[in-house]
Structures are given as structure tokens and as C-alpha cells.
Amino acid sequence: MQLLYVDEQGRMYDHALGAVGRTGDRLVEIMYEDMLELPPGASLTLLPGSNPVGMDKNGDFKLLRQVPGEGSSALAVGALLPQGYTRTLLPGYRRQADQPLPLLGYAAVAWHEGRVYVAAVRTDEPDRWDPVHYNSADLPQLVQNRLDRAPQNRVLAQLAHCALEYSCYTAQNIFYSRWEGGLPMSPACNARCLGCISLQPAQCCPSPQTRLNFRPTCSEAVEVTLHHLLHAPEGIISFGQGCEGEPALAADDIAQVVTEVRQRTSRGTINMNSNAGYTLGVEKICRAGLDSMRVSLISAREQVYQSYYRPWDYRLTDVAASIRIARSLGVFVSLNLLVLPGLNDRDVEIEALVDFIEDNGVNKVQLRNLNIDPDFFYRQVLVNGEIYGVGQLIEALRSIPGLELGNFSRPVSS
């Protein structure tokens, strides 16, 4: 597997040096069995301010600063994976810049026999989230048609912005009237996640999208929810989107929406994506008729959890309590496991995660490639333990009786 890199103009090169990846803060040689051919829907991206690292025939790591024979800087490159694939290694590089990398999920790449390969494994069926189904030529007109029918609905206008400006797939599904559609409700949050994609401090990397700045009314939310569940095949409405804070903080509103919708239809699945830290709010929404809940989790160890989420007023024990209450009320609970090579695949992390799943009756784990600069993350979060590899993490999860494993939500009612 050969080193793959780009120049300052984005032109791609291969090199005689062997390809190198990274797990945690450790560089490793990339082996053929670590890789698969770059899948449809994946894209390559340069890592600004980063020089690639390769391996010579003696097994020594070599930093490549310039394109051989040219004056242009050599820049590291990584892949961004589509839904359905979980990365196993980070790109091998050294940073020259102080500013953190943009919030993306970088995976290691290599060149082999004329093709690009990526360090990843397929962990779900990716068809519904294949980019070919989104950003179609008729999307702007579909958006406009819905807005024309509900010109006063502010949350629909927010979703239109997310669909067209941010290319958010769950927002687009609202206008395609299919599958999982997002419904933001809460501008407030009770955590300050290092990798938050809607709100970051000025000294960090810029957020790729802006957060909802109003609280939708129940009538606005009911209108969107009913339309989607009544018309969308295998429809899911999900509270807790990337453009909002913590939905459980809007428990009164969301519970009323769920109650009113379920009085009018039993179709589809009502889901909430949550950090599950506000247990009273979670319970209220579950009792109103929530079908499924996906809980964000990066670690089942308190110190690591606190370092990443930086919650204002809750702890990991509150998250566990919320999950147990949801399960007792018949809610299907998934973990949205934020995966970063060199973190979740350590022996102590795997052991704690398996115990957490079994102790709290979790139904499913959804693997999610964490979008963050690895150097920025590891400066903030202290980790320990032996690295087993993402493959071993996946095998450990697959060994838990009755646990489902995948990458995204599916309907749990009809």
C-alpha cells in the first residue's frame, strides 16, 4: 500500500513510501488487510497545514514536506466515509498549523494498483444514505412547494435552509417525504461537546452549521410530523438534529407534539436523538409515546465521558438512568457510539462499554465516525489502556447476545 498525498493545488500523487495510518497518537504501517477500495459516496479531502508521513523499506517513518522535484508543499489527504462504513485508522500526518482541522471524520487512505483504498469496514447497508438519493435537481422545487403550502411554519423554513444550504439528508427527507426526517425543537443544550457541529468557541474550529435560534410552537412541529408520518414510506421523525441543542430540554413541547400526533395516527416511528442527561425530560417524552431513542455516547468511563461532553449539570450515571427508564417504558434504545481509532478500541474502553450495554438493556449500537481533529481531541481527553483496534471493538459488540449493530436508525413501529 503506497503513500497517497496532494499538493497545494489539490493534485493527487502516489509515492514509493509505504502508506501510514494512525491510531490514537501512534503511527502504524497500513496493511492490505486493513483496507477496502474507496466506496461509492466517499470523498477525498486534504488536511490543511498537515504533511504526510510514509514508511521506507527499513520500516522507518519519513515525513514528506514537499512534492519531489517541485517546490509545492506535500499535504496529507484523508477520506470522508458515507453512512454504512466505519473507519479503522486515522491518516498518518504531522501538523504544522495551530488552528484545529475542520470538524470532519478523516480516515486513512492509500494507493494500490491504480486505485484508492481507505481504512474502513462496512458495518451497515448504506443504500438509503447513498448521496445518489440526495441533492436531486428537483429538490429546490420540492422545498418551495412545501413552503408555499405552509408559509408561516418557521421550523419548515429552518429545515428548508438545512436541506439546501447544509445538504442535511434528514432535512431533505422531509421534502422528499420518505424515510428519516429531522425535526429540530431545542435551541438550548446542557453540554459543551468538543465536537459539537452547531456551536463552537471562537478559538476552536468553525461549526459547519448554525444552531436553531428559536423554539418552534407545537402546532408548527405537529404539522411537519403528521405530514411526514402519514406520507413517508417507513417514515421516522427524529428530534435532536445537528442544528439544535438537547431536545429533552424542550420536553414539555415535544411531549405535547408526540401526544397530539399519536392521537391522530399510529403510523411511523417517533425518535429522539439525545445525550439523555436530563432524565426527567427524557421520561416525560417517553411517557408521551416515544418509540425510539438514540443516545450519544463516546465512552462508558466517567472521566473520558466528562472530558468530551463537558456537561453543565449531569453525569454518566444520569444517562444510564434515562436509558433504563426508557427501556422500562418500551422504548427502543440505541447508542450513537462516537468512534475514534485509538479511543474506543482500548481494552478498558471496550470492557466498560460492554458492561454499560448489558447493565442498561441497550437494544442497538450505531457506530458513528467522530468528526474532530484527533490532535485537538487528544490534547483535551486523557486516555489509557492497550489499543486492540476498531475491528476488535466491533467483534466485542457483535458478541453481546441480542444486540443489534449498525450505523443508523430504522423504523421500530408501523
Average pLDDT, stretch 354-379? Answer: 96
pLDDT at 199 exceeding the cut of 60: no
Average pLDDT, the chain: 93
| pLDDT for residue 75 | 95
Distance, in Å, from the CA atom of 209 to the CA atom of 200, rounded to the nearest integer, reads 10
| 41-to-82, 171, 266 alpha-carbon distances in Å | 6, 19, 34
Average pLDDT, stretch 155-170? Answer: 93
| pLDDT for residue 413 | 63
**pLDDT band with cut points at 50, 70 and 90 for residue 170:** very high
**Is 22:89 a contact under the CB 8 Å cutoff?**
yes
| 169-to-114, 164, 260 alpha-carbon distances in Å | 32, 10, 26
Q: State in words which class domain 128-406 has.
A: alpha beta
| pLDDT for residue 204 | 54
pLDDT at 198 exceeding the cut of 70: no
pLDDT at 25 exceeding the cut of 60: yes
Average pLDDT, stretch 165-177? Answer: 95
Backbone angles phi, psi at 278, to 5 degrees: -95, 90
Domain residue limits, the chain = 2-122, 128-406
**pLDDT band with cut points at 50, 70 and 90 for residue 344:** very high
pLDDT at 90 exceeding the cut of 50: yes
Q: Give the end-to-end CA distance of the chain in Å, rounded to a whole number.
A: 47
Name which residue leads in pLDDT, 94 or 213: 94
| pLDDT for residue 70 | 79
pLDDT at 414 exceeding the cut of 50: no
Give the whole-number percent of the chain exceeding pLDDT 90.
82
pLDDT at 242 exceeding the cut of 80: no
Name which residue leads in pLDDT, 414 or 304: 304
**Is 352:70 a contact under the CB 8 Å cutoff?**
no
Three-class SS of the chain: CEEEEECCCCCEEEEEEEEEEEECCEEEECCHHHCEECCCCCEEEECCCEEEEEECCCCCEEECCECCCCCCECEEEEEECCCCEEECCEECEEECCCCCCCCCCEECEEEECCEEEECEEECCCCHHHCHHHCCCCCHHHHHHHHHHHCCCCHHHHHHHHHHHHCCCHHHHHHHHCCCEEECCCCCCCCCCCCCCCCCCCCCCCCCCCCCCCCCCCHHHHHHHHHHHHHHCCCCEEEECCCCCCCHHHHHHHHHHHHHHHHHHCCCCEEEEEECCCCHHHHHHHHHHCCCEEEEEECCCCHHHHHHHHCCCCCCHHHHHHHHHHHHHCCCEEEEEEEECCCCCCEHHHHHHHHHHHHHHCCCEEEEEECCCCHHHHHHHCCCCCCECCHHHHHHHHHCCCCCEEECCCCCCCC
| pLDDT for residue 202 | 45
Average pLDDT, stretch 89-112? Answer: 92
| pLDDT for residue 201 | 54
pLDDT at 252 exceeding the cut of 90: yes
| CA angle (304 as vertex; 196, 351 as ends), nearest 5 | 120
| pLDDT for residue 274 | 96
pLDDT at 334 exceeding the cut of 70: yes
pLDDT at 206 exceeding the cut of 60: no
* Each residue's pLDDT tens digit, 277-290: 999 999 999 999 99
